[in-house]
A and B are shown apart, each in its own frame.
Chain A
C-alpha cells in the first residue's frame, strides 16, 4: 500500500529551481534511498515530503490526504505524531540530557514525566546508548549523539522516518552502527524510511534507490538520458 506520495512537486528558492516536478511513491514499511549529486534537490524533496516545506506546485499526499495544503499547525502535529526526522547533526537540545531529549516528543504529546523517561530509557537501551542517558550532547561522541537523535525520532513510533544524510558527520563505523540500528528498528516496526544520501554504500541499506538529477527523478537511475557532455558525438 502506498503511504506517502509526491506528484509533480515543484519548489524553487527565489529564482533557483530546486525541484522541477518530482513524482515518488513510498509504500508502507519500504526503505527508499534518495540519492544524487550535491544540489540535485534531495534535501528539498525530503522537506516537502515531510511537510516541513510547502511545494510551489504539485501534491504531497499522506494516506490519501493532501498534506501540502494543510496549515503549519496541522503539519506540525502530523510531523510530531506520524513522522520522525533525523538530520546530519546538531538537532539535540544542548542543555537537556540524552534521556530528556528522547523524552521530549512524548512530553509534547502529553505523556507524564515518569512514563516518558521510562520509554526514553528503553529506546536508548535498544540503541546501545543507555550508558549516556544522563549525559548532555556536549559530553557524547558524534555517534552517540546521532543514536540519541535516532531514538528521539523513533520514540513516538512514527509511520515514516525521514533521514537527511544521517551519517554525514560520522566516521564509517559510527555511521554504520547508526544505519544498522535504523534499518533494523524500522523493519521491526514496519516504519517507512526516506533516506537522503550521496553515498552508494549508504543507499545500499535501502530497498530501492531513487536518483535525482537537477531537480527531477533520473528514470534510468544512472543518467542514461544525459545529454552528451563536452560536445562529443
Chain B
C-alpha cells in the first residue's frame, strides 16, 4: 500500500469521521496545553542564592514563586489531563460502527489485517499529531501574548521559561504515538474479521461486591496517612519520601474505581427497579438497556465522576480550612494571611473541577451520540412502526439520568469522606471545631454536574432525528 493510497483510504469517511478527527485533534491539543503548562511550572529555576530565601521573585503568584508549591501546581495541571484523555478515548469511539463496517469492507476487498490496522492507526495518529502541533502553536503563541510584566515587573504566568526542548518534543510526538497504539489495540478484533463486529446484547451479571471494597480501601488509605506520619514523628524517624503521595494516589485511584464500578451496580439496580415499577414504554426501554449493559453508564460517566470526586474532596478541604481558621481564632490567634491564600488556591481548584466537568460532559455527549448511532436501525424501525420520537427521546433521557443522580451522590459522598479521612478535625488547646458538611457547595457541584448531563442529553437528542431517518431501514 503506497502512502497516497493509505492517506486516501484513511480520509475516506463520512461527516462523523470528520467530527471524530476534529475532536481527537482538539483533545490532543488540550492535553498538550495542560502537559506543557505543567512542564513549564516545573521548569522554573529555583535560585540558590539569597540565604535560603529561594523564592522566584519574578512572579506575582505564590503558587509559582514558592518552590514547595510548584510541585503541587504542576500535579494539579496534570490532573486536568485525565478528563481530557478520557474525552479523547471516547472520541475514538465516535462513529466507530461506521468505521468498523468500512474497515471490514476493506478486509473483504482483500486488505490484510495489518493494512487495515495501519489505516486506523494512521487516522488517529495523524489527527492527534495535528492536535498536539496546534496545542504547541497555541502554547508558544500564548506565551508571547501573555508575557506582560506588571508595574513591579512581576509576571502572572511563567512566560519567561520554556521546558527543555527534548521534553516538549516528547509530549508533542509521544501523545500521538500513544493514541495510535491505543487505537491499534482497540481495533484488534475488527482487523481479524472481514465481517466486522457483531454486537450481541449479552446478559451481564450484576457487578460483584468490588465497589464497596474498593471505596473502603481508598478511605482506609486516606485515613491512614496521618497516623502513619505521626508514628514516624513519634519514633523520630524520617518517613520514606514517597509513602504519603503513594498512599494518596493509590487510595484516590481505588476510591475512583470503586465509584465507577459502583455506578455499574447502581445502573443495574435502578434498571431492575424501573423494570419492575415503571409504567410507560420509555421507562421500560431505558430499564432494559440499563440492565443489559450496566457498564455502559459507568464507562460514560467515568470522567465526570472523577471530576466530581475531586470537587467534593476540594469542598471538604475548604470546609476544613474554615474550621481551622475558627480554631485559630477561638484559641486567641489571628488567622494567618496565608490561610486566605489557601482559600484562594481552593478557588483555582474549583475552577479546575468546573473545567473537568465541562470536558467530561463533552465525553458524555460523544458516548451518547455514539449509543444512538449504534442503535439507529432499531430506532428507525420503531419510528416506522409509529413510535413517536419523543418516546425514544424520553427513554434515552431516563437511561442517562436515572443512574446519574445516585452516581453523582455516591461520588460526592466518597469525595467528601476522603477529604475527611485525610484532614482530621482541627483541634488546638482543647478547642475542636468539626468542619461543616459543605452542603451548599456540594449541592452546587451536583446541580452543575446534572445540568451538564441534561444539556448533554438535549444536544444528543438532536442527533436522534437523523438516526431514525427511513434510509436506515434500507438493507445493508
Direct contact of A and B (CB under 8 A): yes
List residues of A whose CB falls within 8 A of some B CB. 43, 47, 50, 52-53, 73, 75-81, 83-85, 87-88, 90-97, 100, 104-105, 107-108, 113, 136-139, 152-153, 164-165, 168
A97 and B203 alpha carbons, distance in the complex (Å) = 11
Indicate if B441 sits at the interface (CB-CB under 8 A): no
What 5 A-B pairs have minimum CB-CB distances, sorted nearest first?
Answer: A80-B386, A79-B386, A91-B381, A138-B200, A95-B292
Q: Do A138 and B281 form a contact, CB below 8 Å, given A93-B288, A95-B293, A100-B288?
A: no
Decide if B385 touches A79 in the complex (CB within 8 Å). yes
The residues of B that contact A104 with a CB separation of less than 8 Å are: 281, 284-285, 382, 387
Decide if A96 touches B386 in the complex (CB within 8 Å). no
Decide if A95 touches B470 in the complex (CB within 8 Å). no
Indicate if B102 sits at the interface (CB-CB under 8 A): no
A91 and B202 alpha carbons, distance in the complex (Å) = 17
A124 and B229 alpha carbons, distance in the complex (Å) = 68
Decide if B377 touches A105 in the complex (CB within 8 Å). no
Decide if B201 touches A95 in the complex (CB within 8 Å). yes
Indicate if B474 sits at the interface (CB-CB under 8 A): yes
Indicate if B378 sits at the interface (CB-CB under 8 A): yes
List residues of B whose CB falls within 8 A of some A CB. 199-203, 279-281, 284-285, 288-289, 291-293, 375, 377-378, 381-388, 391, 470, 473-475
Selected from B202, B292, B386, B475, the residue in CB contact (under 8 A) with A76 is B386
Decide if A138 touches B202 in the complex (CB within 8 Å). yes
Selected from A52, A92, A105, A107, the residue in CB contact (under 8 A) with B378 is A92
A43 and B280 alpha carbons, distance in the complex (Å) = 32
Selected from B288, B378, B391, the residue in CB contact (under 8 A) with A91 is B378
Decide if B201 touches A94 in the complex (CB within 8 Å). yes
Not counting A79-B384, A84-B385, a sample of 16 additional A-B residue pairs whose C-beta atoms are within 8 angstroms of each other reads: A52-B384, A75-B386, A76-B386, A76-B387, A76-B388, A83-B386, A87-B384, A87-B473, A90-B377, A93-B288, A94-B375, A94-B378, A95-B292, A96-B285, A105-B385, A107-B284
Smallest Cβ distance from A126 to chain B, in angstroms?
19
A77 and B387 alpha carbons, distance in the complex (Å) = 8
A95 and B288 alpha carbons, distance in the complex (Å) = 6
The residues of B that contact A153 with a CB separation of less than 8 Å are: 385
A91 and B375 alpha carbons, distance in the complex (Å) = 10
The residues of B that contact A97 with a CB separation of less than 8 Å are: 288
A139 and B285 alpha carbons, distance in the complex (Å) = 18
A108 and B394 alpha carbons, distance in the complex (Å) = 13
Could you pull out 21 A-B pairs where Cβ atoms are within 8 angstroms?
Answer: A52-B470, A79-B386, A80-B385, A84-B385, A87-B381, A87-B473, A90-B378, A91-B377, A94-B292, A96-B284, A96-B285, A96-B288, A104-B284, A105-B387, A107-B281, A107-B284, A108-B386, A108-B387, A113-B279, A136-B203, A153-B385
Decide if A138 touches B384 in the complex (CB within 8 Å). no
Which residue, of B202, B203, B384, B386, has the highest number of chain A Cβ atoms within 10 A? B386
Decide if B384 touches A50 in the complex (CB within 8 Å). yes
A80 and B385 alpha carbons, distance in the complex (Å) = 6
Decide if A108 touches B391 in the complex (CB within 8 Å). yes
A/B pair count, beta carbons within 8 Å: 96
The residues of A that contact B200 with a CB separation of less than 8 Å are: 138-139
Smallest Cβ distance from B465 to chain A, in angstroms?
10
The residues of A that contact B280 with a CB separation of less than 8 Å are: 107
Selected from A77, A100, A107, the residue in CB contact (under 8 A) with B386 is A77
Decide if B381 touches A85 in the complex (CB within 8 Å). yes
Smallest Cβ distance from A23 to chain B, in angstroms?
22
Decide if B384 touches A85 in the complex (CB within 8 Å). yes
Selected from B279, B285, B384, the residue in CB contact (under 8 A) with A93 is B285
Q: Which residue of A lies closest to B474 (CB)?
A: A43
Which residue, of A50, A84, A95, has the highest number of chain B Cβ atoms within 10 A? A95
A73 and B391 alpha carbons, distance in the complex (Å) = 12
A96 and B395 alpha carbons, distance in the complex (Å) = 13
Smallest Cβ distance from A88 to chain B, in angstroms?
5
The residues of A that contact B470 with a CB separation of less than 8 Å are: 47, 52-53
Which residue, of B284, B385, B475, has the highest number of chain A Cβ atoms within 10 A? B385
Smallest Cβ distance from A226 to chain B, in angstroms?
26
The residues of A that contact B293 with a CB separation of less than 8 Å are: 95
Selected from A85, A88, A93, the residue in CB contact (under 8 A) with B475 is A88
A104 and B383 alpha carbons, distance in the complex (Å) = 12
Q: Which residue of B lies closest to A113 (CB)?
A: B279
Smallest Cβ distance from A77 to chain B, in angstroms?
7
Smallest Cβ distance from A4 to chain B, in angstroms?
16
Q: Which residue of B lies closest to A50 (CB)?
A: B384
Q: Which residue of A lies closest to B283 (CB)?
A: A107
A87 and B471 alpha carbons, distance in the complex (Å) = 12
A81 and B388 alpha carbons, distance in the complex (Å) = 12
Q: Do A95 and B289 form a contact, CB below 8 Å, given A88-B475, A104-B281?
A: yes
Smallest Cβ distance from A95 to chain B, in angstroms?
4
Q: Which residue of A lies closest to B476 (CB)?
A: A88
A84 and B385 alpha carbons, distance in the complex (Å) = 6
A94 and B291 alpha carbons, distance in the complex (Å) = 12
Decide if A138 touches B201 in the complex (CB within 8 Å). yes
A73 and B389 alpha carbons, distance in the complex (Å) = 9
The residues of B that contact A85 with a CB separation of less than 8 Å are: 381, 384-385
